[in-house]
A = this chain, B = another copy of it.
């Protein structure tokens, strides 16, 4: 029924080794197929970073979810554990791999209060269709990550279609039943969209709400690199809630507030409101990100998106 056949859907958990909720779920799904509603679709499961999972650390040598940049993958001198693992995953399940996958779901968790949410990288039509269908079913907010030269090499970008499911807040290293439940609901919604697309029966909503990445804000730092201010308590847990320039976003060590306008990078100026995401994510401290700022937009769903996803899904 499709353009290509024999393809599958790749489900990755534990791309970061201290994000254990999806990794735990994956073990259940592999142990008992009845625990996941697959809609009859062909799935393959992979633990993203088994060595990091074993160590309960985000990564061993480098962040696996920044290791899929073509220039890293093609550099024979680059032998970091995670780059080697990226090559291995592509050799197995990449579009030209041994058991090729058309679509990938990369299941993450975060210490930020993101709720149950999606991250889409760039504006590929099939990704937007998949995200729109999932948003229609569960109301999940979508973080559209694009045009950030400091953050590249994401896993899902190496497959024709794919997105990240991001659920929080949950501490690193902790499994919580509600986080697992949300993760599974998101994946099952995605599989339902793909099943409809494979059947040529997918209908999408007319509108899609996205939160488009504008840039990131870090805390001020002392010379030694330590934070010279803290995230403001009013912003802690307030992911997706709009901020104005006069809203407090940090707290000085001396106790006074710092407003968004005081720390907004000039390149991000010009918006009336900003929607923060990944607020105080533990792993982003080393990346110099206290929170990211987005702009909320309502997009019309293009007819071509649905077709693009159906092309991928018909290969399943």
A88 close to B (CB within 8 Å):
no
Which stretch (A99-107, A152-160, A170-178, A206-214) binds chain B? A170-178
- From B173, B226, B280, contact of A27 by CB (8 A): B226
What is the minimal beta-carbon distance from A90 to any residue of chain B, in angstroms?
27
Give the residues in chain B near A251, CB-CB below 8 Å: 177
Contact B177 A233 (CB under 8 A): yes
Tell me the complex Cα distance, A227–B23, Å.
11
**Minimum C-beta distance from A132 to chain B (A):** 30
Distance between Cα atoms of A178 and B35 in the complex (Å)? 39
Q: Does A202 contact B (CB under 8 A)?
A: no
Any B CB within 8 A of the CB of A311: no
A227 adjacent to B177 (CB under 8 Å): no
Could you tell me the distance between the alpha carbons of A233 and B286 in the complex, rounded to whole angstroms?
31
Number of copies of this protein chain within its complex: 2
Name, among A173, A226, A230, A282, the residue most crowded by chain B CB atoms within 10 Å (CB to CB).
Answer: A173
> A302 contacts the other chain (Cβ, under 8 Å)?
no
- Please tell me which one of the listed residues B35, B172, B227 contacts residue A173 in the complex, with CB atoms under 8 A apart: B172
CB-based nearest B residue for A174: B282
A61 close to B (CB within 8 Å) = no
Q: Is A180 located at the chain interface by the 8 A CB criterion? A: yes
A175 to B251, CA, bound (A): 12
Interface presence of A28 (CB below 8 A): yes
- Interface of A toward B, CB cutoff 8 Å: 24, 27-28, 32, 35, 56-57, 111, 169-178, 180, 226-227, 230-233, 236, 251, 253-254, 280, 282-283, 285-286
List 9 interface pairs A-B (beta carbons < 8 Å), by A numbering: A24-B226, A24-B227, A27-B226, A28-B253, A35-B254, A175-B231, A176-B231, A177-B231, A178-B236
